[in-house]
Chains A and B, each alone.
Chain A
Amino acid sequence: MRVNVTVNGEQRQADDVWEGESLLFVLRERLGLPGSKNACEQGECGSCTVYLDDVPVCACLVAAGQAQDREVRTVEGLASGDQLDPVQEAFVEAGAVQCGFCTPGLVVQAHDLLDRVPNPSDPEIREALAGNLCRCTGYEKILDAVRLAASRR
């Protein structure tokens, strides 16, 4: 089937989409947006987190057809040109990136948190990021990054 979806403000079209395919597969394999990562494929790890109509979701759990005529914003859509989003900058500066695999999901999820709660408490940050796994054991730096981004917004 064909799927029409707005991705990072651009109208995109994917053809020959299998009906049981995930939005994540469409983004990565059909639309050339590999920023959202594919790891657990069961909503456990959060590395595929994207905005779907402004709500963060696991792209692996959205059927491609459910994204028809919807708006998706991926990690690639957070920066404006060469100017990184403050959350992205904070992740770089705080050393919150080790292997980098979990980073896109964490960045999108943290971005949403700071949009909703400009000055989150530590428990609020932990709760917001509870569905994003980092296996380099880098959570402390990730918390630092979110605090840093919050202080700058």
Chain B
Amino acid sequence: MDFLRPETLAEALELKAQRPDAVPIAGGTDVMVEMNYDHRRPSALLDLTRIAELQQWTEGLRVGAGVPYVRIIDELGAQLPGLAMASRTVGSPQIRNRGTVGGNLGAASPAGDTHPVLLASGAVIEVASVRGTRMIPATEFYLGVKRNALEADELITAVHLTPAAGPQQFSKVGTRNAMVIAVCSFAISLFPAENRVGAAVGSAAPTPRRAPEAEAFLAAELDFANPKPLLDSVKREFGELVSRAASPIDDVRGSAEYRKHALAVMARRTLGWAWQELLDGDKACA
């Protein structure tokens, strides 16, 4: 096995072009588990932790793929509240100190905590190779269980997100608050100025996925210009539509039936929290 240690992104892309089989490693929270357990023996590891370009975020927002969760929470919580909420539910402090959104995207596990937020908030994934840079909408990034749209010579370089234009919420079901792989998860983003809603489920289908019917229903129901307390029937119908967008399986973490139920509950609750934030904001303005 080779251990490749590029210092710059250009160098990393050259190496990845020469060695498409090299496995990129950043925080190591997925890759090292596979190494330690003999589940993976790549011909090379490509260490991305020395590349300064990947560890930065810039206004706009462009978040480098190597920015660890702890910095998203500490530095971007106000601009990206949904992503920060999801980041807080990742593993433990030690894991959040190392793990990155780029790694979440690279692993592309259906249970990855940040995916529903990226889908609900319209994130675009920036990937690069020696051939150039591609911008892939999150909706087109997840192709199957642990499969993403990356070509063999490409690396994930950044995630592009606009600062939250309205309330965002994230919810996750697990057996405890820390160290939990999601049984299922849900993210909602409200875009009041555009009369738009983003909603997506995690760990409830072969890939994380949006719930377009639930989004359309809610966008039609919500009166963003003149927000009033929501009817329970609207919350319930939204929950049902979110649940229907999922196609979960029975596995060690939970049954399909439970996941469907939990998604409806999470969708209803997070909608309530997000809408309340809007109502409170409205009061504060008045």
- Asked if A22 is at the interface of the complex by the 8 Å CB criterion, the answer is yes
Q: Bound complex: CA of A22 vs CA of B45, how far in Å?
A: 12
A66: min CB distance to chain B, Å? 5
Total interface residues in chain A, CB < 8 Å: 28
Q: Bound complex: CA of A44 vs CA of B32, how far in Å?
A: 12
Residues 116-153 (chain A) with a chain B CB within 8 angstroms? 127-128, 130-132
Q: Bound complex: CA of A55 vs CA of B44, how far in Å?
A: 26
In the complex, chain A residues whose CB is within 8 Å of the CB of B98 = 57-58, 61-62
Residues 62-91 (chain B) with a chain A CB within 8 angstroms? 91
Q: Given A46, A68, A128, which contacts B5 in the complex, CB threshold below 8 Å?
A: A68
CB–CB A20/B41 < 8 A = yes
Q: Bound complex: CA of A62 vs CA of B36, how far in Å?
A: 11
- Asked if A35 is at the interface of the complex by the 8 Å CB criterion, the answer is no
CB–CB A20/B94 < 8 A = no
In the complex, chain B residues whose CB is within 8 Å of the CB of A18 = 1
Q: Given A19, A20, A128, A131, which contacts B91 in the complex, CB threshold below 8 Å?
A: A131
Total interface residues in chain B, CB < 8 Å: 29
In the complex, chain A residues whose CB is within 8 Å of the CB of B36 = 22, 41-42, 60
Q: Given A19, A46, A49, A62, which contacts B28 in the complex, CB threshold below 8 Å?
A: A62
A86: min CB distance to chain B, Å? 20
CB–CB A20/B35 < 8 A = yes
A61: min CB distance to chain B, Å? 4
CB–CB B95/A41 < 8 A = no
In the complex, chain A residues whose CB is within 8 Å of the CB of B29 = 43, 61
Contact flags (1/0) for A93-131 with B, using CB distance below 8 Å? Answer: 000000000000000010000000000000000011011
Q: Which residues of A contact B (CB under 8 A)?
A: 1, 18-20, 22, 41-44, 46, 49, 55-58, 60-63, 65-66, 68, 109, 127-128, 130-132
The 9 closest A-B pairs by CB, nearest first: A131-B92, A130-B178, A65-B3, A19-B1, A41-B36, A19-B3, A61-B32, A42-B33, A61-B28
16 contacts between A and B (CB under 8 A): A19-B44, A22-B32, A22-B35, A22-B36, A43-B32, A46-B92, A61-B27, A61-B28, A62-B28, A63-B32, A63-B47, A66-B47, A66-B49, A68-B5, A131-B93, A131-B95
Q: Which residues of B contact A (CB under 8 A)?
A: 1-3, 5, 25, 27-29, 31-33, 35-37, 41, 44-45, 47, 49, 91-95, 97-98, 177-179
